[in-house]
Structure 1
Amino acid sequence: MDGSRPPADVPIDDRRRRQIIVGVLTAMLLAALDQTIVAPAMTTIGETLGHAEYLPWVVSAYLVTATAVTPLYGKLADVYGRHPVIIAAVSIFMAASVVCALAPNLPVLIAGRALQGLGGGGLMALAQTVIGDIVPPKQRGNYAAYISGMWAVSGVAGPIVGGAFAEHLHWSLIFWVNIPLGLAALFVMNAPLRDLPFRPKSHRLDVAGAGLVVAATSLAMLALSIGRTSGDWSSPAVLGLAAAAAVGAVLFAVRLWTFAEPLIPLGVLKDPVVAFGVATVFFGVLGHLGLSTLVPIYFETIAGFRPDIAALGLVGLAIGTVLGAMTAARFLVKARRYKAPAMAGLSLAIVMLAALAATLDLRSFWLSEALLCVYGFGVGTMFPTTTVSVQNAVGRHDLGAATALLAFMRSLGSAAGVAILGAAVLGAGLGPEEGGAAARGVAIDPANFRIAFFIAIGTTAVALACLVAMPRRPLRDTLDPVSVES
């Protein structure tokens, strides 16, 4: 390692800690903004570049690669240190943004988006890992509130900025905007990240295991994407990809038990806090993200609102989610029974889902918006609680792998939720990112939305059960010492 690195047991001072926090939050903003700024420009991109039948892959290509590489980033950060890995992730994301902005046709844009996912897949997990390095678990609730605020900014600004760029300027600006943000993140965090305490150890990177998890995840995501956009879940392509993904998952599981130093340490997987924590996130986001793609479709096709009004249906859900996360984050700092807000929140979310299912026929925008806001508040309490609990359960040498596993399951649950709930409602295979359903003359049975809410009730109930089963351990108020080579 760099000989200028400080000794491993020298703490980070407050000034450098603030610089690092600002830098990693800016890096997180890159990834968060990317999830909201692209969708409003999809129609314009299709009209400009052609090949509109491939338009859903502008979203899917990013999701496939970003999800697949997330566990790998966590392990690389544990082996080589946070600084080189997060700098590489931001750099890849920026380079891919240039490819996307300059794309002369849709296939090149899709390839650029896949490359962008290779960088974006590490930004969320690595940023939270770095925060875990420099902030004791007991104090991380304060910073979880900042993260929630960043998500609020991206959730509100992304659709507005993306729509404005596409309609009044040029769609490529939704990718060019990543360059100044990325440069700002690199400038702020590069120097202080070098000072993060880290002592290298001799490791054997599990290349075969990394290949298996990337392959299995990519195949599973492709199966979900093709099934969702085609509507034919029994097609040879979907079934073949799903079978291949299952084989890859089994081989990866075997690799975990047989390799001396697997990609995800067995000690992390066996810890009940980690196991139940990641399960809580998976099932919680399955309903949450699935519904977020369907709400505008309900308001447009069933309630009969204009597309611009229908798009506002997500505002209440987004605001509620952020407020719930911020509330639970404060409890992490002050309360001993820090799981209580999240358990109450998920219980409240189940009640709100039942209320939404019962009031669908009223077709009231403001009633649905209020119920969605309270539902979002309930689910939002889950995110800081699970993140801090999982990080608190592992040592610093496994912090990257554990945090990446949490981010990986969140992405996988999001994709599964969009596919499962989308199939329940849309059936015929219109992907939510393909534009206004009403404009395309798609007839949707209102009862299908009720089915989707019932599915979300079931997955949220499973998330609540996992959270209840997750052991509650006292949050440490000090940082772990940097691991040394044995």
Structure 2
Amino acid sequence: MNSEPRADFSRPEILSILPGLWLAMLLGALDQTIVATAMPTIGRELGDVEQLPWVVTAYLLASVAVTPLYGKLADIHGRRIVMLSAIAIFVIGSVACALSPSVPILAVARAFQGAGGGGLISLAQTIIADIVSPRERGRYQVHIASVFAAASLAGPPLGGLLADHVHWSAIFWINIPLGAIAFVFTSERLRNLPKVARPHKLDVAGALLLVFATTPFLLALSWGGVKYAWTSAIVLALFVAAVVFALGFVWRTRTADEPLIPASVLGNQVVKTATVAAGLAMGVFIGLSIVMPVYLEGVAGLTASMSGLALIPLMIGTVIGATTAGRSMARLTNYKRLPMAGMAMAFVACAIIAWRPCDLPFPVLEGVLLVVTIGLGTVLPTATVSIQNAVARHELGAATGASNFFRQIGSALVAAVFGAIVFSASGVAQEVARSEHAALDPASIEALSQAFRHVYIGACILIVIAMAFFAAMEMRPLRSGAEPPPESGH
């Protein structure tokens, strides 16, 4: 007997569920930003700076690798129990992090924490899809952008404040009360979500193959050009291992009775095109967010703290773009027009910076960056709703988890490419990174400017490719709550 999730939740019911989802998403998003500024303090107090990058890498590896698994588990066992499990794993991992006596143990605890954090965001998106019809869902995607913006803005200063004036472990202890509130709130409010009673089973072999493919790939991206040369034996071996296991995962997907990511999802035209477009657009945004501090400090001459403040328009821009796109989806028949226009705006803005990378006055640069992120911010809400609108309800979890996973992989790849371009600028970027306020000579500034010219040319190319995929995406009418979902993902 099938019990499909209701699509007729009243607005008061929806609003009663959302705060728990916001808090769960905030836990996952905040922990990706709050740790960065506390890292030097953690290294000093635990007496191990050499292995400190593992504190970040371990969380990244675990959180990305488990994202598709959570989607499938939510389709099998229901959203509530899987979300509560993710919150519990995250909180237990946070306690282990706070009590860690050494960096290696902290890294292991961070991996455990990431195994919980990896499900919080995609599960929240799936639950929103359960309670809100596709026609109205775009406006609720704005909440996701706002949560990420809040985490990006509050995380770094909060992490530094707690590490300097309380203790570095406080950045993990604060997850306990927040997680407890999210757990209680979610447990109560999600009781009204009916379980989808369908004959499902978990493809354990496929899940393991995906983890084994993801881990070496992300390690290669994290180490390449930083710890090891891109052409070093270890980085190349990691890429080869990733390819081998990825091929194994593809084989398993084609032969398993019920693969981790259903063939109806992987073969869905909307899922494929929207995921690639969103992955490229978000990759450009994340890549620019990572490398722009080097530009702002090395070329614009800002201090590290000022460069952090200068990135605020990037965060605000994505919220503006997501809000505009999300609210317009229900009103526009051709809901692809706005993100296409947004990406065109971002292309022009990136081209302006590529044309004059070192000559733009700082206020003009900030304005152009705002245009870039407003344009890119229109893509994700439209892509997410389009994907969820194109699959059957019993595949919502798998489709949302898979699209988030592949988008994260694409974003990590773009960010690594942008970083490699910048940090290949004859050691200039490393000089900026080592100094609080690096005084670069004109030749060094020119070298760094040329590196950023190439970054923004690359951004223009990726945006054009994203536009091509988005233009090719089949535009299906957004369903209202009364309309049945498609029976398959094709």
Deviation per residue, 1:291-336 (Å, 9 max, x gap): 1101111111222211111122211111111110110001112211
Q: Check 1:436–1:8 CA distance in 2 against 1; reply closer, same or farther (3 A cut).
A: closer
Give distance in 1, aligned partners of 2:430 and 2:204: 35
Give distance in 1, aligned partners of 2:155 and 2:78: 32
Find the partner of 1:103 among 100, 105, 108. Answer: 100
SS at match of 1:394: coil
Superposition deviation, residue 378 in structure 1 = 0.4
Contact 2:9/2:131 (CA < 8 Å) preserved in 1?
Answer: yes
Find the partner of 1:195 among 189, 192, 209. Answer: 192
The answer on 1:451 being equivalent to 2:437 is no
Superposition deviation, residue 8 in structure 1 = 6.6
Superposition deviation, residue 463 in structure 1 = 0.9
Find the partner of 1:139 among 136, 139, 142. Answer: 136
Aligned to 2:382: 385
Give distance in 1, aligned partners of 2:92 and 2:430: 25
Contact 1:58/1:110 (CA < 8 Å) preserved in 2?
Answer: yes
Superposition deviation, residue 7 in structure 1 = 9.3
Superposition deviation, residue 435 in structure 1 = 9.2
Find the partner of 1:182 among 168, 179, 183. Answer: 179
TM-score, normalised relative to structure 1: 0.93
SS at match of 2:316: helix
Aligned to 1:331: 328
Superposition deviation, residue 425 in structure 1 = 0.6
Find the partner of 1:169 among 166, 170, 174. Answer: 166
Contact 1:74/1:403 (CA < 8 Å) preserved in 2?
Answer: yes
The aligned amino acid for 1:187 is V
Superposition deviation, residue 483 in structure 1 = 11
The answer on 1:310 being equivalent to 2:307 is yes
The answer on 1:350 being equivalent to 2:347 is yes
Find the partner of 1:68 among 65, 79, 84. Answer: 65
The aligned amino acid for 1:285 is M
The answer on 1:18 being equivalent to 2:19 is no
Contact 2:63/2:114 (CA < 8 Å) preserved in 1?
Answer: yes
The aligned amino acid for 2:452 is F
Aligned to 1:237: 234
Aligned to 2:412: 415
Find the partner of 1:462 among 456, 460, 465. Answer: 465
Superposition deviation, residue 112 in structure 1 = 1.4
Contact 1:396/1:480 (CA < 8 Å) preserved in 2?
Answer: no
Aligned to 2:41: 44
Q: Check 1:154–1:7 CA distance in 2 against 1; reply closer, same or farther (3 A cut).
A: closer
Unpaired stretches in structure 1, ≥5 consecutive residues: none
SS at match of 2:330: helix
The aligned amino acid for 1:405 is A
SS at match of 1:159: helix
Q: Check 1:8–1:482 CA distance in 2 against 1; reply closer, same or farther (3 A cut).
A: farther
The residue correspondences of 1:110-121 to structure 2 (distance < 5 A) are 110-121=107-118
Task: Please identify, of 210-219 and 419-428, the stretch whose mean Cα deviation from structure 2 is larger.
Answer: 419-428
Superposition deviation, residue 119 in structure 1 = 0.7
The aligned amino acid for 1:459 is L
SS at match of 1:53: coil
Contact 2:421/2:454 (CA < 8 Å) preserved in 1?
Answer: yes
Deviation per residue, 1:422-446 (Å, 9 max, x gap): 011103899x999934349796831
Contact 1:300/1:307 (CA < 8 Å) preserved in 2?
Answer: yes
Q: Check 1:369–1:8 CA distance in 2 against 1; reply closer, same or farther (3 A cut).
A: closer
Contact 2:423/2:430 (CA < 8 Å) preserved in 1?
Answer: no
Task: Please identify, of 73-82 and 146-155, the stretch whose mean Cα deviation from structure 2 is larger.
Answer: 146-155
Q: Check 1:18–1:236 CA distance in 2 against 1; reply closer, same or farther (3 A cut).
A: same
Superposition deviation, residue 356 in structure 1 = 1.4
Q: Check 1:394–1:8 CA distance in 2 against 1; reply closer, same or farther (3 A cut).
A: closer
Give distance in 2, aligned partners of 1:187 and 1:207: 30
Contact 2:342/2:376 (CA < 8 Å) preserved in 1?
Answer: yes
The aligned amino acid for 1:55 is L
The answer on 1:210 being equivalent to 2:191 is no
Aligned to 2:259: 262
The answer on 1:77 being equivalent to 2:74 is yes
Aligned to 2:368: 371
Superposition deviation, residue 9 in structure 1 = 6.2
Contact 1:229/1:429 (CA < 8 Å) preserved in 2?
Answer: no
Superposition deviation, residue 21 in structure 1 = 1.4
SS at match of 1:462: helix
Aligned to 1:359: 356
Superposition deviation, residue 231 in structure 1 = 4.8
Superposition deviation, residue 246 in structure 1 = 0.0
Task: Please identify, of 400-409 and 43-52, the stretch whose mean Cα deviation from structure 2 is larger.
Answer: 43-52
Task: Please identify, of 15-24 and 340-349, the stretch whose mean Cα deviation from structure 2 is larger.
Answer: 15-24
Contact 2:7/2:482 (CA < 8 Å) preserved in 1?
Answer: no
Superposition deviation, residue 181 in structure 1 = 1.4
The aligned amino acid for 1:462 is I
The answer on 1:475 being equivalent to 2:478 is yes
Contact 2:94/2:172 (CA < 8 Å) preserved in 1?
Answer: yes
TM-score, normalised relative to structure 2: 0.92
SS at match of 1:281: helix
In angstroms, what is the RMSD of aligned CA positions? 2.6
Find the partner of 1:153 among 147, 150, 153. Answer: 150
The aligned amino acid for 2:374 is F
- Count of paired positions: 481
Find the partner of 1:223 among 220, 224, 229. Answer: 220
The answer on 1:321 being equivalent to 2:314 is no
Aligned to 1:30: 27
Contact 1:317/1:372 (CA < 8 Å) preserved in 2?
Answer: yes
Superposition deviation, residue 263 in structure 1 = 0.7
Task: Please identify, of 73-82 and 304-313, the stretch whose mean Cα deviation from structure 2 is larger.
Answer: 304-313
The aligned amino acid for 1:478 is G
Find the partner of 2:83 among 86, 89, 96. Answer: 86
Give distance in 2, aligned partners of 1:362 and 1:470: 38
Q: Check 1:433–1:478 CA distance in 2 against 1; reply closer, same or farther (3 A cut).
A: farther
Superposition deviation, residue 364 in structure 1 = 3.3
Aligned to 1:251: 248
The aligned amino acid for 1:168 is H
Give distance in 2, aligned partners of 1:418 and 1:433: 17
Superposition deviation, residue 89 in structure 1 = 0.6
Task: Please identify, of 320-329 and 162-171, the stretch whose mean Cα deviation from structure 2 is larger.
Answer: 162-171
